[in-house]
Amino acid sequence: MTAAAGRLDGNTVLVPAPLGSRLHTRHLVGTLGPKGLRLSLVEAAWCVMGDRLKMEGDATAADLLARGDAQTEAEHLVYADLRERGLVVRHAGASLAVLPRGAGLDAAPLYTVRPFSERTFLSAADLLGCVGGIVAVADDDGAVTHYKIEASAPMGNHPVGKLPVATGRPLRDRVLVEDGDVRQAWQGEGIGVAHGSGFVLSLVEAEHLRRRGVLKLPSSRAPSPDLARLVAVHEAVRATGALCKSGFKFGTHFRAYRDDPDEAHAEWLIQAIGSDDTMAWSDLSRAIRLAHGVRKTLLLALAGKKVAFLSLSWFRP
């Protein structure tokens, strides 16, 4: 049985008193004002779909959602998912605030949730704007998956030290160092892979060592923007004392170790993202699931003027 009647007022719904007051008290929705209860389109659609609210002119939930912008549909699906979990939720602009159980809508939130559609492409700015909160992704079936985004850098026990100088021979995709006398010192920083009496470096490692002044090359040229970004992330990882190796076998740019790679497993998988890059949620979902499956933490390394590390992990509301 319907509990109230509402009418559209711009891109909100107004439910006059006293019906609005009862709807607000019983279902913890909207904001009470002198004219009655004001609901967002998301809240109103949830009320209509649950037969909690009847609209003037018999407007349906679909009619209400169609009046919103591109995000309204995802916001509604996430709002409904949280409410079905028995949570108290306040719709506040582009975010949803989850409040303590038993608290009113004026309580300080436990955390905020930013809704996205599966088809959304994320920029570095989008990700940075979600740090410390929860993102919720509505897929094409309407199911919702929640992720926590935190500022979190790798940490290791191998600070950058002083290395002996050697000369390298550039190949197409790597650099060969035939001076076996430096191998032990260099591999103490997780650099290079043994090859005969010498060892090979990735282009990222070679550029990192060239910048440190310990690798001499017959000639050098400016790295491409993609390589420069990877080198910046590699250097940022090393600056934390962690050791950095290729992440190809896990589908990421790097994997990082707290201790010696020969004696420990990698704890982090790292994907480098440029400040102008975008990512699809399907790619992130795949990376998060893989990292969880191999008991590692997925880090996105946002490479701008400085490198910012963000961890993404599943979250249960």
Using one digit for the tens of pLDDT, what is the confidence trace for 181-232? 888 888 888 999 888 878 899 999 999 999 999 999 987 778 898 999 999 9
Instruction: Say what the pLDDT of residue 12 is.
Output: 94
Q: What single DSSP character describes residue 183?
A: H
Instruction: Say what the pLDDT of residue 1 is.
Output: 43
**How many Å is the Cα radius of gyration of the chain?**
26
Mean of pLDDT values over 6-24: 92
Mean of pLDDT values over 49-59: 92
Instruction: Say what the pLDDT of residue 4 is.
Output: 54
Q: How far apart are CA 223 and CA 210, in angstroms?
A: 11
Please name which of 251, 157, 237, 182 lies closest in space to residue 204, comparing C-alpha atoms: 237
Instruction: Say what the pLDDT of residue 144 is.
Output: 97
Mean of pLDDT values over 266-272: 97
Lowest mean pLDDT among 18-22, 43-47, 78-82: 18-22
| Residue in the block written with tokens 């992130």 | 284
Q: How far apart are CA 284 and CA 104, in angstroms?
A: 35
* Three-class DSSP category at 47: helix
Residue, of 107 and 298, whose pLDDT is higher: 298
Q: How far apart are CA 15 and CA 32, in angstroms?
A: 9
Q: How far apart are CA 51 and CA 130, in angstroms?
A: 33
Q: How far apart are CA 139 and CA 169, in angstroms?
A: 49
Task: For 75-102, write each residue's pLDDT tens digit.
Answer: 999 999 999 999 999 998 889 999 998 7
Please name which of 308, 131, 312, 162 lies closest in space to residue 236, comparing C-alpha atoms: 308
| 8 Å CB contact between 205 and 230 | no
What is the rounded average pLDDT for all residues in the chain? 92
Q: What single DSSP character describes residue 108?
A: P
Mean of pLDDT values over 285-296: 95
Instruction: Say what the pLDDT of residue 145 is.
Output: 97
The number of beta carbons lying within 10 Å of the beta carbon of residue 215 is: 24
Which two structure tokens, joined as six digits, stand for 135? 């993102």
